[in-house]
Amino acid sequence: MALSLFSKLGKSIKPYKNILCCISQNGASGRHMTNYCLDPSIGLSEEEAEIQSMALNFAENELAPNMQKWDADATFPVDVIKQSAQLGFGALYVDEKYGGTGLNRLATSVVFEALATGCVSTTAYITIHNMVTWMVSQFGSEDQKEKLLPQLIAMDKLSSYCLTEPGSGSDAAALITSAVKKGDHYILNGSKAFISGAGTTDIYLVMVRTGDPGPKGISSILVEKGTPGLNFGKNESKLGWKNQPTSIVNFEDCAVPVTNRIGLEGIGFNIAMAGLNGGRLNISSTSLGAAQKCFELTKEHMSVRKTFGKALNEHQYLQFKMAEMATKVMSSRLMVREAARRLDEKHPASPAMCAMAKLHATDNCFEVCNQALQMYGGYGYLNDYPIQQFVRDVRVNQILEGTNEIMRLLIARNCLKM
């Protein structure tokens, strides 16, 4: 991996205090071991824990202080997002030979979990940009890599991923946005729905139909902002992810050079599915970060809030609730990290394991956040407290990157060999 790169880049922003690893006077690193069962560094290597520490400190210093204001004002924090690229967060799992950070999927999950403790919505966008950047690095031509990757890695250009349509979400292979080849261009017509960053971002990776119905008729094309025929709907008013612009992306006789196609014609669906396996781990990791943060906030609240003459944490019922919450966080973390390891080794069961991890983590971590709100009582319902925002922001994780009903279908097909 790329700890040396992280160490070098970390100094370019500000010195971040290392809270999970300790560095001895002679420069040798050693793990700081605790007996706290929810320590998120448990099981990590020295290098992974260093990377986690840097991400946690970025979350604490740059994201958390602004999270609620960004939500209230619907502010897309482009400057802070681009600042994260200085730490290598713009291309976490892109190979170092292209200028990426070169992390594996496990370390990537660790980073996204840590960042989400500061702001789920902002971290979720960063995961999307990472997925697009990785797709270009994996499936793009050498010319595309040379032209686009430096800008995407540095986040000089931000990206959006366009798969879902108004009439096709879970049934992605049924998409109808068309790309008809005319000479050296494709003419795009159709619409994409729920696109994060739409209207603000610079590059759109679009799944289009270039052939017959079904998955084999789908191709992947890059469309740059400002292309004639590309336009955007209104910014959607959402329950969560309010600091992230989301809208319809429309293509009306939008002419795009054939050279903008990613990979061969007809492999777009395969590209989409390859991206979604990792995407499911990425989004699950943001749920993990939110649940961990909500647990910590609730633990602190319970130590100071008193009812019936004693602190909340002295009530056995609430102690048991906290034990259940902690177990859900830990079991989710174990499943996500195990699926990440299997995805790294290209295990044939990794798609099903990613689906399992996504199902378990996003369901259980939402329950943890929601229970934290309940344990805050009326205070948890106030916008002055961050718990309610975590609840709103992680709810969508049970829907996107494949609904959790589709996750159950994928798991069943694998287990039953259907």
Residues catalogued as catalytic: 401
Hey, is 119 helix, strand or coil?
coil
Nearest to 92 by CA among 57, 119, 54, 38: 54
Distances (CA, A) of 407 to 62, 152, 293, 351: 34, 30, 26, 10
Which residues lie below 8 Å from residue 202, measured CB to CB, with a gap of 6+? Answer: 157, 158, 159, 224, 225
Distances (CA, A) of 17 to 9, 22, 33, 80, 120: 14, 10, 17, 19, 22
CA 407 to CA 405: how far, in whole Å?
5
Length of the chain: 418
CA 341 to CA 107: how far, in whole Å?
10
Q: Quick check: 133 and 153 in contact, CB under 8 A?
A: yes
Nearest to 112 by CA among 157, 52, 63, 172: 52
Structure tokens at 128: 């999307």
Pairing verdict, β 203-209 and 159-162 = parallel
Nearest to 222 by CA among 211, 208, 212: 208
DSSP assignment, residue 171? -
